[in-house]
Chains A and B, each alone.
Chain A
């Protein structure tokens, strides 16, 4: 490391605006990401993927590939020494396709060669004979077509038994009397396309054989220990023979929860006895990870003339694609948070996730709540219009608060300042309307110079977002930390909590400095070799869980040191949040006190300008208030809210993986559009701090709520500007100009 990276940064304790320790190596280019790794004697791995959404594999001929210069290994499923299937929650996915492929991009053969170009040529030389089968590509029809997984891998795990083919999970939440009527009824059907995490650092890793039959895997991931526990059985190794080490992560957003190159790289490395590096390119990355579930959501909201919700019925269909990934939990979350943060005494919520031959879907920031928020908030606006009530007032009237009951029967016991969040967001002053003429950069269409402003309409929208924090439904959710105190008062913290960019490294150091009363704290590398599991950097849980584990380990270390009268100590502690319990499979009601440990709410107000003649939208301004518990590092919290808002803006306006017969047609940043610096408005942020009683220091996770709420809030503003229903995201210009909610599919 250079001198520059060793400069002492301002140290921070809990509550301070902390500058990141890792920012310096990141601005100088020295920070080592997974794709930057290398090792002496290293080979390059590559993956042959299926061009078919659904096909039988008749034969695979490797002869030509094996004969090529520089090629050291060409491996198929026959070379997988242990379990042939793996999966984040259910082992339903082949390490390498066996006799059938179920999605375009499914790995079939892996190769290792001296040079990446030689590896690519080897892939070209492999001959696979496929017999194409009819693909299952429509989520409604999937429920009637031949099952893609006849053995039904997700059934018998405490879920409702659903005999329909291709059901990953069907969850029904029955609350009160779902036949309760209302003075007014509004209905709607809403659709969401497939969103991609589109983290900038492509899937990459380096697998290094240890010479004794074991393997070290350096990889960008979200949960080191769960990777290890999936990799080891496939390699027929004991868990301790497989060591996962965190390499620099270039963003994650849920897309690194599932494995990518981990088993493949390890297979190649163990086979060749040499280190093997794999780096996906962008096109491969788009097929190499799971996406946000596309959804179709039918809603019926009933209310009194005064605006009190009396009953809500929602039917949620989610396309999980070829393999289960985390679809069961996404379906549950979609159902649990379907109503939004509102008190509703009667409800019937049904969520179904299906298997199909579309790209596999799993975790993405917001995890089921994004989809239902978009639908439910549109319904609240419809209801407000129907009743001629101000949309903000309608939300205040129905706001869910502590002591109220969720549709699962769970009583809200923690902090949930819904009304305060609504009021704080609604009170942020709106920007003044900008006069015309003005620089086209500040008009819809931007530098394209498509209008001088004549067809441009302004709209103001409002929405609430609602989501759980931490893992739910009885999952044994824990986090480990290890603290070594030295005789000189300095400390080393070991944690496998993954830094994906969110800043958990800073949180760990802030907690340790606060608890130990010293600034001389360093964080050891994240690895399975030195510390127990931290759980996943997912579900807005990492700050809460890492803070709990590090706090407990620090306090235990100080006690131990005092007991010994000084000297060095080394203690490991496991932190668990209060237990949750599963939902009853038939009624969707809680079987204990709670299925979710904590809840977070956010409110967002948005100003848009829409060119109604061309269907182009400019998001002018965003104001948001978010329930954050207690902000450990306000600077990082703001960064999460700004970045999370951008991802929701992307889903509202431009981000969609377009498929035809299961194949992704736009697997590039040329064709899959991400919000740029020109697309993002200023985001005015109000942090609402009401400490969460069950959490260390009163924290709540903050990463997901802005993504949950922003798509819904932007759509609310666009409907106000256009008077169009806009029931599908991302909104296409046709949806605005042609006046239909859903223009014909591509």
Chain B
């Protein structure tokens, strides 16, 4: 079927089969592989995107469900030359190791700070508990959130 949607402000379309996830459609058809395929069952958050402004696991959304909707992926966060403040904070805090969880976390943190500009430590931990990271032990990711919140 034909799926047409707005991704990172741009109208895009492509063919998807009935069982295809939005994640696979973004990665393989629209050639936006920034959203990651770590578990593909909604447990790790590495495929996190904003669907009409709501944080979702794109592996749990069918491509067909996204037809006619608005999606923001990690590729859509930077503004021209400038990294998104959350992206910059991840770089500055040393919050990136292998980086496979990073796109999903960056999207999740951007969403968190949009809703709660100055989250408490408990709010940070709870809101990121759906994003698994296997490398960092999360400490420097928490630092990144605090840095991004302070700079805002």
Which residues of A line the B interface, CB within 8 A? 2-4, 7, 9, 17, 19-20, 22-24, 26-33, 35-36, 38, 117, 197-202, 248-253, 279, 281-282, 439, 441-442, 447, 500-503, 635-636, 638-639, 642-647, 668-670, 674-678, 680, 682-683
| CB <8 Å contact, B43 and A670 | yes
| CB <8 Å contact, B125 and A202 | no
Against A, the Cβ 8 Å flags (1 = close, 0 = not) of B62-83 are 0000000000011101101111
A33-B33, A200-B100 known, 14 other contacts, Cβ within 8 Å:
A19-B94, A27-B103, A29-B73, A36-B27, A199-B100, A199-B134, A200-B134, A250-B36, A251-B100, A439-B122, A644-B137, A646-B138, A670-B41, A677-B142
Taken together as a complex, chains A and B put the C-alpha atoms of A675 and B136 apart, in Å, by: 11
| CB <8 Å contact, A669 and B39 | yes
| CB <8 Å contact, B136 and A198 | no
| CB <8 Å contact, B126 and A33 | no
Chain B residues, Cβ within 8 Å of A17: 94
Nearest CB in chain A to that of B83: its residue: A4
Some 13 contacts from A to B, beta carbons below 8 A apart, are A4-B78, A4-B82, A19-B92, A200-B44, A249-B98, A281-B40, A282-B40, A282-B41, A638-B94, A639-B136, A669-B41, A675-B137, A680-B139
Taken together as a complex, chains A and B put the C-alpha atoms of A35 and B40 apart, in Å, by: 13
Task: Select one of B35, B38, B128, B140 contacting A639, CB under 8 A.
Answer: B140
| CB <8 Å contact, B98 and A500 | yes
| CB <8 Å contact, A26 and B138 | no
Chain B residues, Cβ within 8 Å of A503: 97
| CB <8 Å contact, A117 and B17 | yes
| CB <8 Å contact, B39 and A2 | no
Taken together as a complex, chains A and B put the C-alpha atoms of A20 and B126 apart, in Å, by: 27
Task: Select one of A27, A32, A647 contacting B96, CB under 8 A.
Answer: A27
Taken together as a complex, chains A and B put the C-alpha atoms of A386 and B37 apart, in Å, by: 51
| CB <8 Å contact, B129 and A642 | no
Q: Does B25 belong to the interface (CB within 8 Å)?
A: no
Taken together as a complex, chains A and B put the C-alpha atoms of A676 and B142 apart, in Å, by: 12
Q: Does B149 belong to the interface (CB within 8 Å)?
A: no
| CB <8 Å contact, B126 and A502 | no
Taken together as a complex, chains A and B put the C-alpha atoms of A478 and B57 apart, in Å, by: 44
| CB <8 Å contact, A441 and B122 | yes
The winner among B35, B77, B130, B139 for most chain A CB atoms within 10 A is B139
CB distance from A448 to the nearest CB of B (A): 12
| CB <8 Å contact, B97 and A502 | yes
Q: Does B99 belong to the interface (CB within 8 Å)?
A: yes
Task: Select one of A29, A38, A197, A636 contacting B74, CB under 8 A.
Answer: A29
Chain B residues, Cβ within 8 Å of A441: 122, 125-126
| CB <8 Å contact, A677 and B99 | no
Chain B residues, Cβ within 8 Å of A668: 39, 41, 43
Taken together as a complex, chains A and B put the C-alpha atoms of A28 and B99 apart, in Å, by: 10
Taken together as a complex, chains A and B put the C-alpha atoms of A22 and B87 apart, in Å, by: 13
Nearest CB in chain B to that of A683: its residue: B139
Chain B residues, Cβ within 8 Å of A32: 33
Taken together as a complex, chains A and B put the C-alpha atoms of A675 and B74 apart, in Å, by: 24
- Known contacts A669-B44, A677-B129; A642 and B139 CB within 8 A of each other: yes
CB distance from A708 to the nearest CB of B (A): 15
Q: Does B58 belong to the interface (CB within 8 Å)?
A: no
Taken together as a complex, chains A and B put the C-alpha atoms of A199 and B101 apart, in Å, by: 10
Taken together as a complex, chains A and B put the C-alpha atoms of A447 and B40 apart, in Å, by: 25
By Cβ-Cβ distance, the 10 closest A-B pairs, closest first, are A29-B34, A501-B98, A26-B99, A250-B100, A642-B137, A646-B137, A669-B43, A29-B74, A501-B97, A36-B33
| CB <8 Å contact, A676 and B132 | yes
| CB <8 Å contact, A23 and B90 | yes
Taken together as a complex, chains A and B put the C-alpha atoms of A32 and B27 apart, in Å, by: 12
CB distance from B42 to the nearest CB of A (A): 8
| CB <8 Å contact, A642 and B136 | yes
CB distance from B144 to the nearest CB of A (A): 9
| CB <8 Å contact, A635 and B94 | yes
| CB <8 Å contact, B134 and A253 | yes
| CB <8 Å contact, B40 and A251 | no
| CB <8 Å contact, B132 and A674 | yes
Q: Does B56 belong to the interface (CB within 8 Å)?
A: no
Nearest CB in chain B to that of A22: its residue: B99
| CB <8 Å contact, B97 and A677 | no
Interface residues of B in 95-152 (CB under 8 A from A): 96-103, 106, 122, 124-126, 128-142
- Known contacts A282-B38, A669-B44, A669-B132; A4 and B81 CB within 8 A of each other: yes
Chain B residues, Cβ within 8 Å of A643: 97, 134-137
Chain B residues, Cβ within 8 Å of A253: 134
Nearest CB in chain A to that of B122: its residue: A441
CB distance from A431 to the nearest CB of B (A): 13
Chain A residues, Cβ within 8 Å of B37: 35, 202, 279
Taken together as a complex, chains A and B put the C-alpha atoms of A249 and B81 apart, in Å, by: 26
| CB <8 Å contact, B132 and A28 | no
Nearest CB in chain B to that of A622: its residue: B137
Taken together as a complex, chains A and B put the C-alpha atoms of A23 and B94 apart, in Å, by: 8
The winner among A24, A636, A647 for most chain B CB atoms within 10 A is A24
Q: Does B30 belong to the interface (CB within 8 Å)?
A: no
| CB <8 Å contact, A642 and B134 | no
CB distance from A703 to the nearest CB of B (A): 10
Task: Select one of B75, B102, B137 contacting A645, CB under 8 A.
Answer: B137
| CB <8 Å contact, B73 and A24 | no
CB distance from B101 to the nearest CB of A (A): 6
- Known contacts A279-B37, A642-B140, A677-B131; A200 and B94 CB within 8 A of each other: no
| CB <8 Å contact, A23 and B78 | no
Chain A residues, Cβ within 8 Å of B122: 439, 441-442
Taken together as a complex, chains A and B put the C-alpha atoms of A279 and B39 apart, in Å, by: 12
CB distance from B85 to the nearest CB of A (A): 11
| CB <8 Å contact, B41 and A501 | no
Against A, the Cβ 8 Å flags (1 = close, 0 = not) of B49-66 are 000000000000000000
- Known contacts A33-B100, A639-B140; A200 and B41 CB within 8 A of each other: no
- Known contacts A2-B78, A23-B96; A677 and B128 CB within 8 A of each other: yes
CB distance from A32 to the nearest CB of B (A): 8
Chain B residues, Cβ within 8 Å of A117: 17, 19
Task: Select one of B34, B94, B136 contacting A30, CB under 8 A.
Answer: B34
Chain B residues, Cβ within 8 Å of A501: 97-99, 135
Nearest CB in chain B to that of A37: its residue: B33
CB distance from B86 to the nearest CB of A (A): 8
Taken together as a complex, chains A and B put the C-alpha atoms of A441 and B123 apart, in Å, by: 10
Chain A residues, Cβ within 8 Å of B88: 27
Taken together as a complex, chains A and B put the C-alpha atoms of A502 and B132 apart, in Å, by: 17
Taken together as a complex, chains A and B put the C-alpha atoms of A27 and B147 apart, in Å, by: 15
Taken together as a complex, chains A and B put the C-alpha atoms of A635 and B134 apart, in Å, by: 17
Taken together as a complex, chains A and B put the C-alpha atoms of A43 and B142 apart, in Å, by: 41
Nearest CB in chain B to that of A24: its residue: B91
Taken together as a complex, chains A and B put the C-alpha atoms of A2 and B138 apart, in Å, by: 28
Taken together as a complex, chains A and B put the C-alpha atoms of A30 and B102 apart, in Å, by: 11
| CB <8 Å contact, B90 and A27 | yes
Taken together as a complex, chains A and B put the C-alpha atoms of A22 and B32 apart, in Å, by: 19
CB distance from A730 to the nearest CB of B (A): 16
Chain A residues, Cβ within 8 Å of B137: 639, 642-646, 675, 680, 683
CB distance from B124 to the nearest CB of A (A): 8
Taken together as a complex, chains A and B put the C-alpha atoms of A32 and B103 apart, in Å, by: 12
- Known contacts A28-B74, A442-B122; A251 and B98 CB within 8 A of each other: yes
Taken together as a complex, chains A and B put the C-alpha atoms of A249 and B35 apart, in Å, by: 15
Taken together as a complex, chains A and B put the C-alpha atoms of A670 and B57 apart, in Å, by: 14
Nearest CB in chain B to that of A252: its residue: B98
Nearest CB in chain A to that of B107: its residue: A29
CB distance from B69 to the nearest CB of A (A): 20
Chain A residues, Cβ within 8 Å of B131: 677
Taken together as a complex, chains A and B put the C-alpha atoms of A6 and B37 apart, in Å, by: 26
Nearest CB in chain B to that of A676: its residue: B129
Taken together as a complex, chains A and B put the C-alpha atoms of A680 and B126 apart, in Å, by: 11
Chain A residues, Cβ within 8 Å of B132: 200, 669, 674, 676
Taken together as a complex, chains A and B put the C-alpha atoms of A3 and B41 apart, in Å, by: 34
CB distance from A620 to the nearest CB of B (A): 13
Chain B residues, Cβ within 8 Å of A27: 74, 83, 87-88, 90-91, 96, 99, 102-103, 106
